[in-house]
Structure 1
Amino acid sequence: MIQLAKGRYVAREATCASDIERVQQLRGLAFMRPGGVDADQFDEICDHIMIEDHETGHLVCCFRFLPLPNGREIGRSYSAQYYELAGLQSFAGRMVEMGRFCSHPDWVDPDILRVAWGAMTAYVDAQKVELLFGCASFAGTDAEEYYDAFAMLSERHLAPRRWLPQIKAPKVFRFADKLRRKPDAKKAMLRMPPLLRTYLMMGGWVSDHAVVDGQMNTLHVFTGVEISAIPPARKRLLRAVAG
């Protein structure tokens, strides 16, 4: 059971139906879902992490984990709806999918993301995970806004060929094929989602295309982080927060 306190925030696993309802309501607010609630069939099989302000009890951030024993189970994941993941079926180690990451729009505090990554690290260590993966989302569906970011992903961060996700979704932006430009590094990092920036700092890699998700109003790329490849200095920082 994950429980972590840092500064004014507490990270813990959801333990009851009312916790899940609060998570779904925050997701509904963050993702602007009709009716104010975001829920799907994966909620029942995932572990949900909540980050709360310990003084007020306000839920300020949440995300969920789907643990898998190995790559043979990857077809059960949320990501498998959008990406052909046959290459990862041969991954022998334990895996976990992290998804539905969101923060309350009224709470802008970098410590929230730090606590979130501390909770992620504690979970990964407890589960002996070897691959962390998920969908990293860009807001909106206009790929042109993110050309420098996508060009940087293409130039520096594509998945190893053996793990590279293939196209499955009906509408995608094939940035690795279409963008042959030198990225403006400053513009690229400014347009890169914070969660994806953190994945990349840990040695993460991405698919060669982005899925155009009209329902969620996002462009998202499959993202993987092999735990053994995380730079030692970054591991120490993460474990310091997790501890």
Structure 2
Amino acid sequence: MQTALPERNGFLDTSSAVIGTRHRDHSFGSKPLGRIGTLEVRLACDAAEIAAAQEIRYRIFYEELGAGRGSLKTAKRDADRFDDICDHLLVFDTALTGPAHHQIVGTYRLLRQERALVSGGFYSDEEFELKALITRHPGRRFLELGRSCVLPAYRSKRTIEVLWQGIWAYVNHYDIGVMAGCASFQGTVPAAHAEALSYLAHHCRTSSLWDVRAVAGRYSSMDLMPAEAVSPKSAILAMPPLIKAYLRIGARVGDGCVIDADFGTVDVFVVLPVNDIGARYINYYGGESQSFAA
């Protein structure tokens, strides 16, 4: 989730350029899920809106942050096989002129467990042992969040809040029990983030009940400094805003980090059981978005 909101969870495949909406729950997805001022959040309704979200992802992940898959440089879209089975949460600035897909200023990608299990799994399976975690909680519905990004001019508290209104309405509508997904530090050297990663390792780890480990062969330790050498204040300041936002509402991180050379990031895995979300955040987001969740 950075204030700049560039987070992604997927590998790239140009074979799925513009995808359809055959999996969509149209009775729910076409209406607004949240609103603050001129900003409105809802799910993508058609291929044009999904393509616009892919173009925004490309602009941020490739042009701004320097992700490296050259095969997409002609298409100018960040597209992968998971787009076809995901819902795409979009933020619109309704004050902008033109068709709806020209009003999109931010996006988040949502993959529900039931879709993932019949379509080859989650993206996070490539980096973290998510399937093992799901197996331990057969009574909970999991939701993978990723590919979050917002255009520079809209990187504000208000945009984050309207995104969370949409996510909370979605979670309530589909009776989601656990939100999870990758969150990233820029760069491919864990030691460059030693204090922040060590803080996560010492103070923000999941309980044994919710623990999830980086896959064998990709595991890198987050425990890079002794606990007594870590300054909580400077560690938190060094974290991407999205990770800080997850922690504030009750999320915890799994065991180990993973280097994603394609996107130039160090990834950690965030787990957030809905029951662990702080009451004040439920009241804040839930009270505003409850009318959108039915």
Task: State if a TM-score over 0.5 links the two structures.
Answer: yes
Q: Provide Cα deviations, 1:42-94, integer angstroms capped at 9, x if missing partner.
A: 00000001101111153211011111149977971111111123133121211
Asked if residue 27 in structure 1 is aligned to residue 54 in structure 2, the reply is no
User: What is the rounded CA distance, in whole Å, between the counterparts of 1:128 and 1:111 in structure 2?
Assistant: 25
Pairing partner for 1:67 from 94, 109, 112: 112
Pairing partner for 1:179 from 214, 220, 225: 225
Contact map agreement 2:128 2:214 (CA 8 A) in 1:
yes
Q: Provide Cα deviations, 1:71-123, integer angstroms capped at 9, x if missing partner.
A: 97797111111112313312121111111111113433221111111111111
Change (3 A) 1:108 1:76: same
Aligned positions, number: 242
User: What is the rounded CA distance, in whole Å, between the counterparts of 2:287 and 2:235 in structure 1?
Assistant: 29
Change (3 A) 1:180 1:107: same
Letter aligned with residue 216 of structure 1: F
Contact map agreement 1:115 1:241 (CA 8 A) in 2:
no
Pairing partner for 1:40 from 80, 86, 108: 80
User: What is the rounded CA distance, in whole Å, between the counterparts of 1:104 and 1:173 in structure 2?
Assistant: 31
Greater relative CO (CA pairs within 8 A, separation 6+): 2
TM-score (norm 1): 0.91
Contact map agreement 2:221 2:257 (CA 8 A) in 1:
yes
Residue matched to 2:151: 104
Contact map agreement 1:131 1:226 (CA 8 A) in 2:
yes
Aligned alpha-carbon RMSD (Å): 2.2
TM-score (norm 2): 0.76
What residue ranges of structure 2 are gaps of 5+ in the alignment? 1-27, 97-101
Asked if residue 88 in structure 1 is aligned to residue 134 in structure 2, the reply is yes
Question: Cα offset for 1:199?
Answer: 1.4
Percent identity (aligned): 28
- Runs (4 or more) in structure 1 with deviation over 3 Å come to 69-75, 169-172
Matches within 5 A, 1:49-198: 49-56=89-96, 57-69=102-114, 76-85=121-130, 86-91=132-137, 92-168=139-215, 170-176=217-223, 178-182=224-228, 183-198=230-245
Letter aligned with residue 39 of structure 1: A
3-state SS, counterpart of residue 76 of structure 1: coil
Deviates more, 1:69-78 or 1:101-110: 69-78
User: What is the rounded CA distance, in whole Å, between the counterparts of 1:201 and 1:73 in structure 2?
Assistant: 33
Contact map agreement 2:185 2:239 (CA 8 A) in 1:
yes
Deviates more, 1:53-62 or 1:160-169: 160-169
User: What is the rounded CA distance, in whole Å, between the counterparts of 2:135 and 2:210 in structure 1?
Assistant: 9
